[in-house]
Structure 1
């Protein structure tokens, strides 16, 4: 069985390598039907986009194509920036009923699974992701680097390297073996003191992390932790923030409970993941400080339906029920208050490639279709501190998607993207 699985992994790698390196980007002149640029509320028609050397160089009324440029006819489509998901777990196995799955898979197998996840995500129209942690520490760095080299196809990745978490906290693999028996690469971010948290932050940044992910409260999908319980306190979080910000890197905090959310904001983190039990004070504080919320408001439905069917741990299902509706109430209130909200799904808990399913929930719970689209384009780029993605504008990467229907009339059309382009190269 092991030998057969090894052959399957080698075959999967071969397929990925064959599909990895697209033709070199050429000079393009793209004729659009409707154009949503990701930053304005305008929908323009009759616009043509000039692309050279992976980047957009001009947008103007259509006319003759520039010399040497290939004309691409997308006049029957709505064209948008490539989508951005701010909360994914590409470099991991995905959620299941088997608590031990992450430790059963070697780092090599985990990386191969990550390559598959990356390809599926890109084909779904998500050309950039923030990957917010993996049990196998630094596997996400390896995957990001492979994509950047062109070894495997995938979205642009910004990665956390590992979780900064207390021992036995929400970022640990709990309930499988004694923690001291876990492989070292599964405990790269475990910190028992603020000084250790600072040291772990330095280690991860030195080894390729683009930002830092902290676990400020317990988790839904971790044995023995409670979402409302504080784990990394303010002193830990401040130690992490001081190191990361001194190096120009952002910090995000996994935080379900209101107290943990407020601790994280007061410590200076840049964004909050989940924010499920945010109270009015926490939301007002986030608005006042400009802190971003990354709220995965589709995820609870999937966990309840599929997790129940597949026999996920009862503790997971109970905690999911206790947070799902509360999170959606908090999301609606955050929209009303004008809190910064980016598009974040927790893909990996549910299958990669289904990232766009959350759009419909964002509209159901208070956003307009344009707000939802911008949360996954221009607004998401702002949260990441990027000025090279997230918009169809001169100087940005030519990352674009095209759909035949109008997503402002029916947002679910984004669940099946017709065409994807990354850096001026057609993905499909």
Structure 2
């Protein structure tokens, strides 16, 4: 199979042949053909369950991952899973998966019955166990008036996982929870609704990414009027309004901002990219947040000689017409034409 067109983000004409699961530069590059991305990426998607309290289902997992694939999402990071099998192999028909073990929740935090429940003093060792596949996910805080995981506990957890050569995602939504996650040196903040902007320079310096998950919170907002808890409504609404200037400020501070939906149905990362644009990220940076920037952050190559044969093609430049991201014309995964 030959693939040619204009590669992003370089905008250089490229021509490849597919060699197994790899791309090989071939022939003379021309400026015709499709606009090419190395696949879209959703860095926060919990494939395999419809709700956090559900038992993992491989049938549901396949359905979710095929929905991602049909949308041109060829890599998915699952920060937190209900799947107890830590070394589950990739399915060659499905998008590449960067996975963690089970959500790690200490007392009083997270949905009742969901995730692996541990005491605070057990968190560092449990996090190393759950990070066997590369990542672990810690529930760093919960409701607006609940205390977050203490900073010393979270720091010990991050240090232990880093010593094992793995990475830590922290769910954080309160101001104090976000602060503790940043000061502990977490690799990513999931949500970060009430993040204090004074922490952004530290995040940039230590490489902590921000995954704001607008898509999920947009869904929460739709049903917010049904909540009888005025404090909760105020907290969510305030966090939503705070998230827009936070994303812009984070980008300007040099923080890696990434696209993750944390939502069902799967395959909606183009919508998350549009939220990042509305928040003030330049269009090219927002598209990168859901493609080449996210792939590089996960240690995956882009459209280069010898890189993975994961390619999505569009009729127009997504950086000029981001709506085209919902209409892929070509989808190649692991060297196979799938769409």
**Pick from 235, 245, 248: which aligns with 2:152?**
235
Q: 1:385-411, CA deviations, whole angstroms, 9 ceiling, x for partnerless residues?
A: x1x34x101222111101112212210
Q: Shift of residue 314 of structure 1?
A: 6.1
* TM-score for both structures, normalised by structure 2: 0.90
**What does residue 126 of structure 1 align with?**
73
SS of the residue corresponding to residue 89 of structure 1 reads coil
Task: Give the 3 Å change call, closer, same or farther, for CA 187–163 of structure 1 in structure 2.
Answer: closer
- Distance in 1 separating the partners of 2:33 and 2:233: 44
**What does residue 418 of structure 1 align with?**
329
**RMSD of equivalent CA atoms:** 2.6
Contact 1:303/1:317, CA 8 A, preserved across alignment: no
SS of the residue corresponding to residue 186 of structure 2 reads coil
**Pick from 275, 289, 292: which aligns with 1:361?**
275
**What does residue 48 of structure 1 align with?**
15
**What does residue 24 of structure 2 align with?**
57
**What does residue 210 of structure 2 align with?**
293
Contact 1:166/1:231, CA 8 A, preserved across alignment: no
- Distance in 2 separating the partners of 1:413 and 1:230: 43
Q: Unmatched 5+ residue regions in structure 2?
A: none
**What does residue 22 of structure 1 align with?**
none
Q: 1:186-224, CA deviations, whole angstroms, 9 ceiling, x for partnerless residues?
A: 442x22223x0022123324xx43211111121xxxxxx
Q: Unmatched 5+ residue regions in structure 1?
A: 1-27, 64-73, 96-101, 175-181, 219-224
**What does residue 204 of structure 1 align with?**
130
Q: Shift of residue 157 of structure 1?
A: 0.7
Q: 1:77-122, CA deviations, whole angstroms, 9 ceiling, x for partnerless residues?
A: 2111111111111121148xxxxxx35xx54xx2221111011111
Q: Shift of residue 31 of structure 1?
A: 2.4
- Distance in 2 separating the partners of 1:280 and 1:341: 14
Q: 1:275-322, CA deviations, whole angstroms, 9 ceiling, x for partnerless residues?
A: 1111221222212322111111233223323x359x688687664323
Structure showing greater radius of gyration is 1
Contact 1:29/1:48, CA 8 A, preserved across alignment: yes
Q: Shift of residue 57 of structure 1?
A: 2.3
Contact 1:341/1:375, CA 8 A, preserved across alignment: yes
Corresponding residue pairs, total: 338
- Distance in 2 separating the partners of 1:29 and 1:118: 26
Contact 2:148/2:176, CA 8 A, preserved across alignment: no
Find out whether 1:79 has 2:32 as its counterpart: no
**What does residue 29 of structure 1 align with?**
2
- Distance in 1 separating the partners of 2:253 and 2:130: 35
Q: Shift of residue 123 of structure 1?
A: 1.2
**Pick from 86, 101, 107: which aligns with 1:161?**
101
Q: Shift of residue 352 of structure 1?
A: 0.7
* TM-score for both structures, normalised by structure 1: 0.72
- Distance in 1 separating the partners of 2:51 and 2:326: 20
1:82-231 aligned within 5 A: 82-94=39-51, 102-103=53-54, 106-107=55-56, 110-134=57-81, 136-138=82-84, 141=86, 144-145=88-89, 148-150=90-92, 153-170=93-110, 173-174=111-112, 182=113, 186-188=114-116, 190-194=117-121, 196-205=122-131, 208-218=132-142, 225-226=143-144, 229-231=146-148
- Distance in 2 separating the partners of 1:322 and 1:308: 12
- Distance in 1 separating the partners of 2:332 and 2:228: 40
Task: Give the 3 Å change call, closer, same or farther, for CA 54–415 of structure 1 in structure 2.
Answer: same
Q: Shift of residue 330 of structure 1?
A: 0.8
- Distance in 1 separating the partners of 2:270 and 2:37: 14
- Distance in 2 separating the partners of 1:93 and 1:199: 29
